[in-house]
Amino acid sequence: MFKKIECNICGSADQEIIYFSKKISQDCSYFVTEENLFPPSRIARCNDCGFIFAIPSEDPDVFYNAYIKMVDEKYIEEELGRRLSARSILKKLNKFKKHGNKLLDIGCCTGFLLDEAKNVGWDTSGVELSSWASRYAAEKFNLKIYNMPLEKADFPNEYFDIVIMQDTIEHLHHPRRMLLEINRILKTNGVLYINTPDIESFTSKILKAKWWGINQFHLYYFSKKSLGEILNLSGFVVLKYGAYARIFTLNYWSERFKNYNSMIYKILKLVTRIKIFKKSFLRVNLRDQVEVFARKAASKNKSYE
């Protein structure tokens, strides 16, 4: 009998296991660029609302400590591609700057997006658990980084105009609790941007447990539907959904395809040996990463407890 946990959307404990694995990684080190992460031991679906989530065999502190200790030099090697992706996000958010320019990036890693935002006039802050990444962002780019969980940063009520969470919400043990805290620190009509793997995407359905979005550090598996539901319950109104595109070097993409398609891997490897293409960037949109823009709804109750 597996341990049941309450659904983070509807609170129900009526769930069924939809995936089970006997393979449990003994190494709980975490790297953003890791290519061979194990899937969770169990993935369940809520029988009441359909939300999909992992039932991890590890203690929550195991993941938390892994994020704190994370050092990932490969992440820095793709700095330009990550900056190009950041510019794409900021361009979409730029129209909201007229209402205020305070921006918070939760899970900001080495601060590439924050540095890009600062360069175009945003007043930036970041929250990051990794001591290495926080130090890099603060020292390299002179950014305001809080090396702690969001709730311990103790930001004032209604302080930020924009909050960003890239590839973060799926890692949280209590995403709704985090969204409520974001609602508290976001100004009324402020905007929250999230991107996360889309469990209902065509790619996910084809690859199933081999899909890159399934790994032991991803505890919640969102779709447009479940994202909309949890945002609505947390005091947000969805403005727009989209499919998030990734920009990396051809070499980086070739390493990612190694575990999925040997033919594509070999072709990309051959191409990267040609000097002119060695550091070329490729923008790929597999439509398996959903992005959402949501506005904090006006509330009659301005008290925060």
Domain layout of the chain by residue ranges:
73-196+234-246+289-296, 250-281
3 exposure class (CB count in 10 Å sphere: 0-12, 13-18, 19+): exposed
pLDDT at 92 over 70: yes
pLDDT at 273 over 90: no
| pLDDT top residue among 81 and 5 | 81
Q: In what order do the strands lie in the sheet with 15-20?
A: 15-20, 42-46, 52-54, 220-221
Would you state the pLDDT for residue 25? 66
Would you state the pLDDT for residue 28? 80
Would you state the pLDDT for residue 284? 85
Would you state the pLDDT for residue 59? 82
Q: Rounded to whole angstroms, how far apart are CA atoms 49 and 63? A: 27
Q: What phi, psi does 63 have (nearest 5°)?
A: -70, -45
272 close to 174: Cβ distance less than 8 angstroms = no
Pairing status of strand 236-243 against strand 289-296: antiparallel
Would you state the pLDDT for residue 229? 98
pLDDT, tens digit, 9 for 90 and up, residues 126-167: 999 999 999 999 999 999 999 999 999 999 999 999 999 999
Span 169-179, average pLDDT: 97
Q: Sorting pLDDT into bands at 50, 70 and 90, what band is 255?
A: confident
pLDDT at 113 over 50: yes
Would you state the pLDDT for residue 268? 65
Range with the lowest mean pLDDT among 1-5, 99-103, 105-109, 206-210?
1-5
Would you state the pLDDT for residue 14? 95
**Could you confirm whether domain 73-196+234-246+289-296 is CATH 3.40.50.1370?**
no
Span 260-279, average pLDDT: 67
Residue carrying the six token digits 């953003």: 32
Span 67-81, average pLDDT: 96
Q: Sorting pLDDT into bands at 50, 70 and 90, what band is 305?
A: very low
pLDDT, tens digit, 9 for 90 and up, residues 197-242: 999 999 999 988 889 999 999 999 999 999 999 999 999 999 999 9
Would you state the pLDDT for residue 252? 82
Would you state the pLDDT for residue 22? 75
CA angle 148, 149, 152 (to 5 degrees): 85
